[in-house]
A and B are shown apart, each in its own frame.
Chain A
Amino acid sequence: MLAYTSRRIVYVIPIVLSVALVCFLLVHITPGDPLVAVLPADASQELAAQLRTAYGFDRPLPVQFGLWLWRAIHGDLGNSIATGRPVLSEVMRAVGNTVMLAISAAMIGFTLGLLFGLIAGYFRDTWVDKVATSIAIAGVSLPHYWLGMVLVIIFSVQLNWLPAVGAGPGGSGAWAWDWEHLRYLVLPAITTSVIPMGIVTRTVRALTGDILSQDFVEALRAKGLRETEVFRHVVKNAAPTALAVMGLQLGYMLGGSILIETVFSWPGSGLLLNSAIFQRDLPLLQGTILVLALFFVLLNLLVDIAQAAIDPRIKRS
């Protein structure tokens, strides 16, 4: 297990470096001089030249990348142009809200997905299966930002049960675990949970169907095991793949939250990304994407290791 884990970690290093390279290059594919992003609009020629040297923009690109990477490793992702504060602290503050949203959504989406998937796989081609499959396919086809709007229309505008936007009463106050705050989480979390619910349902349904058609299930039944015992074996066999899919989905929720956070003005990393894009705050854009992508890589690594821990077959391959 230790050998497998260390091999996986070594394999991640080039990925992390490439991710950093892509994030670095993002600023360089923007039309125009990257300096424009950090330069005040009325800057003189001398100031421009001075800043160019200060930021290293006069150096060759590989050297620039090296310098940028070196600073990034030490936690320095530059300063936000809009606020002047360090990018890393801005991102970290926002990521907490996104993690909270993603985990709440995961609890809803994964629970329903596992339930629907197991039922659909077990009672394949019955009406239960058809209902579960239809819910799943609707879930993966829904433009989630639109679903968010529709939920706001129903539960905020028409019924006036839940707040439409924000993350707490009175603007961006401190979070507390009471109903006054939690009610702000309900609609964004449900909206976020729909896609993972659909994907987990489809995956688990397919897995359950495959496992049930294997010979060993027949053997278990022939041995006289009760159906609940057989079910336990099905769950055990489906677990590694289901876990991998759920890990990936959690990563998508963390990294792809921009649309939902925009709809609900949820103050997470997605909303930060949105404002970075529209204020042309390139250091903030670059930093947010780097942090989110690294989260995603880390999560994938953890899922791989967890998968190998519960399924010994993976280590040998």
Chain B
Amino acid sequence: MSAMSDTALQAVPATKARGYWATVGRRIRRDKVSMACAVILLLIFASALLAPWLHLADPYQGSMIRRLRHIGTPGYPLGTDELGRDMLARLIYGGRLSLVIGILPVILAFGIGTSLGLVAGYVGGKLNTAIMRTVDVFYAFPSVLLAIAISGALGAGITNSIVSLTIVFVPQITRVAESVTTGVRNMDFVEAARASGAGPFTIMRVHMLGNVLGPIFVYATGLISVSMILAAGLSFLGLGTKPPEPEWGLMLNTLRTAIYVNPWVAALPGAMIFAVSICFNLLSDGMRSAMDIRN
């Protein structure tokens, strides 16, 4: 993960501000892989959002006589799970919770981490030391271990797993934000703003935020991939939501017993996690190279 951050650290020079985002947008629209990923993600998001209107089977309604039907069974295009519930409906409804618990921690951490990093990078001195040394402490834990430690101590639950993942990602985003901010801070245009009488808050908000947000955003997009895997992983361990709620990680866990009967149905929820995770990773890569205009 540190390798990913290193390439994201280069701040975008302010001189390219005019027309910069338009250029980036055009470059990313030409990138076939990024566009394909964006389309897949849009489809997954839209189906999760519109699930109640898609005329799907009831994701909670099981039946003992039609358990573990195979993929392609008439009436059950993706088969049924260990309690006879329709897999297609559960996968689509499952997206609602899975996407929220996977993405919300990154959004929260993006807000908190960017603020902390911006302040640490701009103010510097003792405040920087205090913030960055605290961040270092969290780096002394492998992220999976930290997430599980906090989640395990707080107990199972959706809120707790969102809280624990947010705590895992805040330090990472803070580090990126601080490093980008430090790079921008000494540029001439910040000096000019200060000379013309702008206060620290105005400088951070008006002059610096726009210049540091891009690299942090790209980094955070890549983190969604990790977050999806970890959030579903917590549910997989039983630390997230509880049955019968459809959620990809939990479904993968409850279907583990079915791998000897109907293995490929059991593997489906993981394929969804993989699809979302790889799309966000590729999208993040695409954005990074689109924003790297010097090449």
Contact = CB atoms under 8 A, between A and B. Distances in A.
Whether chain B is bound by chain A comes out as yes
Interface string B217-238: 0000000010011001100111
A170 to B, nearest CB: 21
A219 B145 CA distance: 46
Contacts of B277: 141-143
A145 interface: yes
Contact of B233 (A14, A153, A259, A277): A259
A276 B249 CA distance: 20
A259 B236 contact: yes
**Number of contact residues on B: which range applies?**
35 or more
Contacts of B233: 143, 145, 259
Interface string A237-261: 0000000110010011011101100
A140 B1 CA distance: 10
A15 B140 contact: yes
Contacts of A259: 144, 233, 236-237
A297 to B, nearest CB: 5
Interface in B33-62: none
Given A31-B154, A258-B237, A150 B145 contact: no
A293 interface: yes
A203 B2 CA distance: 9
B281 to A, nearest CB: 5
Contacts of B271: 146
Contacts of A132: none
Interface in A2-43: 14-15, 18-19, 22-23, 26-27, 29-31
Interface string A261-301: 01100000000011011100010010001001100110010
Contact of A252 (B144, B152, B269, B273): B144
Nearest to B145: A255
A263 B252 CA distance: 11
B137 A19 contact: yes
B150 interface: yes
B266 A149 contact: yes
A141 B281 contact: yes
B256 interface: yes
Given A153-B259, A202-B3, A137 B285 contact: yes
B267 A293 contact: no
Given A248-B2, A277-B152, A158 B263 contact: yes
A143 B273 contact: yes
A296 B141 contact: yes
B292 interface: no
A18 B152 CA distance: 19
A30 B264 CA distance: 38
Interface residues of A, number: 56
Given A29-B154, A143-B229, A285-B153, A252 B142 contact: yes
Nearest to A195: B229
Given A138-B278, A149-B256, A259-B237, A26 B150 contact: yes
A258 B148 contact: yes
Contacts of A297: 140
A149 B267 contact: yes
Centre residue among B3, B236, B238, B259 by max chain A CB count within 10 A = B3
A273 B234 CA distance: 13
B142 A255 contact: yes
A281 to B, nearest CB: 10
A206 interface: yes
A111 B287 CA distance: 30
Contact of B140 (A18, A137, A142, A256): A18
Contact of A141 (B140, B153, B274): B274
A305 interface: no
B136 interface: yes
Nearest to A30: B153
A241 to B, nearest CB: 8
A26 B2 contact: no
A149 B145 contact: no
B268 to A, nearest CB: 10
A293 B7 contact: no
25 contacts: A15-B140, A22-B141, A26-B153, A27-B153, A29-B154, A30-B153, A30-B154, A30-B155, A137-B282, A140-B225, A143-B270, A147-B270, A149-B252, A153-B263, A157-B259, A199-B1, A248-B2, A255-B145, A258-B237, A259-B144, A259-B236, A259-B237, A262-B236, A263-B256, A300-B140
Given A292-B142, A293-B145, 7 more contacts: A23-B149, A143-B232, A149-B270, A153-B267, A158-B263, A252-B142, A256-B142
